[in-house]
Amino acid sequence: MKFPVVPVFILILFSCVVSAIWFISPADKDTGPKTWSAFIYNHGYNSGKYKKTDNFDSYDACSDFAREQSAVYDDAPWECGSMCQFESRKQGFQCEEMKNEH
């Protein structure tokens, strides 16, 4: 009897692809606690310049800080974002969620 080399190779290759997809799942990326960051657009919302402060435990703490800083900069627009990371392709921060609820 001849050993079926091609089907065994295809089965091993398929197993490697499935295991790679399994280990690179999006569920593994969220390992840290949910933190909030305040963005104060002190030169206007569309200017691309902002002051960013990190590590707020809740949206309420972030928005309280953002409102105080907004008043310092003549009621500048502000937002709070959760789980923000720098995106090098877009040259800016990308957040899972952005809010500004007055």
Predicted confidence band of residue 49 (pLDDT cuts 50, 70, 90) = confident
18 CA to centre of own chain: 26
Residue 61 has pLDDT above 70, yes or no: yes
Q: Which of 71, 63, 70 is nearest to 100 (CA)?
A: 63
Between residues 26 and 40, which one has the greater pLDDT?
A: 40
Tell the residue number behind the tokens 């007055």, with chain if given: 102
Q: Which of 10-19, 29-38, 93-102 has the lowest mean pLDDT?
A: 29-38
Enumerate residues 6+ apart whose C-beta is below 8 A from 30: 83
Q: Name the residue with higher pLDDT: 66 or 23.
A: 66
- Is pLDDT at 102 greater than 70 in this prediction? no
Query: End-to-end CA distance of the chain, in Å?
Result: 76
At 20, the pLDDT band (50, 70, 90 cuts) reads confident
